[in-house]
Amino acid sequence: MPNEVIDSLKNKSRGLKTSVNVPVPASPDDHLVTDLPLLDNSKLPIKHWAGLLPASGNGDKYLFYWLFAPEKDGKPADLFDPNIPLLVWLNGGPACSSMDGLWLENGPFRLTQDPSDEEKWTIELDEFSWHKAPAYTIYIDQPVGTGISFTTSKKYPKNDVEVNVDFYYFLKEFFKLHSDKFLDKTNTLNRPFYFSGESHAGHYIPSMMNYIRKQNESSDIKLPLSGAAIGNGWIDPPVQYSAHEIAYGKGIIGLSQKRALAVEEQSCQAALARGQYVVSTCFDLLDNILDQSYGKGSKYKVSQYDARRSELHGSPRTYPPGHKDVEAYLGGSGASSLAANFKQVLKAIHSYPSYEAGQEYEECTDPPYIAL
């Protein structure tokens, strides 16, 4: 939902350059990740690829992806088994990185701090990672300006069509590069193809899939779609902005507050019906609940993501746990020892041009958010 970026509109970009050299991979091996800092390669039995691919033909837009091969019973699965699906994961925001999914939710990697030495970190593997389904899993930072993805022209998508055009261009480049695993001799996808995601991805995914379906009618690459899985999807703003019903059910607000918020919800819905989408009345529907959740004047508030958790008023968001560690590892933020080698990390995942272009990794960034 939009509130996940309201408190993190803090783009700290060094200023995007107008041009940067992004090496063109000649084969999938050029994007093979072989030496990731903090990862003991002997613990990971499968291959994984990461890098930047064009999202336009003008050399000004690049999306970052991280692809994991399937694993079965602790061993690499048959890479060419047509029954093993390809699963796309997208986080929402808009403009929140899909590295949340990879590092904090359903991906294989977890940054782990040594309890006896807070400066010592390792990458441990999650036993419930989705690639063990088995499935090919790909995590994509999009739209441009999100996470490690960047644009030198600052042409951030302003609507669904522009998002879809960039994303589809990237998809075709991805399937051309990894055709050995995903395309048959007729350039048709040779395995089930699923989309998955959460929050604003509930808006992205249906639109993207519909666009792909239409492009299949004329494109030289055919991408049959198999289905989608959406969690806590942002799909119906007039209904989803207000949280007064669930807040009342959980005992966070009283009956009078619930009634007052119901009136405010009607004002929000009226604004949305007029095509006004940046409206404080809508944002305040949740913020007012959070601000008073422990009583007016309290230094604590309920977490907007988990009503079982508390956060300090006026302090940086702490949920989801670990997102600051990922920012340090991929973007060099903070004083943590994790930040020391972030440039080596970007080189290992073939994405150093993002840094050279001025894109600094953050969980959520504001230029693409504001554009949408």
Strand partners, 366: none
Q: Give the domain ranges of the chain.
A: 3-236+322-371, 237-312
Rg of the Cα atoms in the chain: 21
d(CA 274, CA 134): 46
Mean pLDDT of the chain: 92
Span of 115-129, 280-294, 305-319, 353-367 with lowest mean pLDDT? 305-319
- According to the model, what pLDDT value does residue 15 have? 56
Statement: residue 227 has pLDDT above 90: yes
- According to the model, what pLDDT value does residue 293 have? 87
Q: Which tokens sit at 156? A: 């951030």
Mean predicted confidence (pLDDT) in 61-88: 97
- According to the model, what pLDDT value does residue 331 have? 95
Mean predicted confidence (pLDDT) in 74-94: 96
Class of the domain covering 3-236+322-371: alpha beta
Statement: residue 76 has pLDDT above 50: yes
Task: Give which of 61, 37, 33 is closest to 46, Cα–Cα.
Answer: 33
Strand partners, 109: 125
Q: Which pairing describes strands 150-151 and 193-198: parallel, antiparallel, or unpaired?
A: unpaired
Show the beta-strand stretches assigned E in the chain: 48-54, 61-68, 71-72, 75-76, 86-90, 109-114, 117-125, 136-141, 150-151, 193-198, 227-231, 300-302, 310-312
- According to the model, what pLDDT value does residue 11 have? 38
CA 343: distance to chain centroid?
21
Running DSSP on this structure, what letter comes out for residue 130?
A: G
CA 371: distance to chain centroid?
17
- According to the model, what pLDDT value does residue 305 have? 86
d(CA 77, CA 46): 8
Q: What is the pLDDT of residues 164-199, one digit of tens each?
A: 999 999 999 999 999 999 999 999 999 999 999 999
- According to the model, what pLDDT value does residue 113 have? 92
Q: Please say whether the beta carbons of 336 and 342 come within 8 A.
A: no
Strand partners, 75: 72
- pTM score over 0.85: yes
Q: What is the pLDDT of residues 48-67, one digit of tens each?
A: 999 999 999 999 999 999 99
Q: Which tokens sit at 112? A: 């782990």
Instruction: Give me the percent of the chain exceeding a pLDDT of 90.
Output: 81
CA 13: distance to chain centroid?
18
Mean predicted confidence (pLDDT) in 224-236: 95
d(CA 350, CA 52): 7
- According to the model, what pLDDT value does residue 14 have? 46
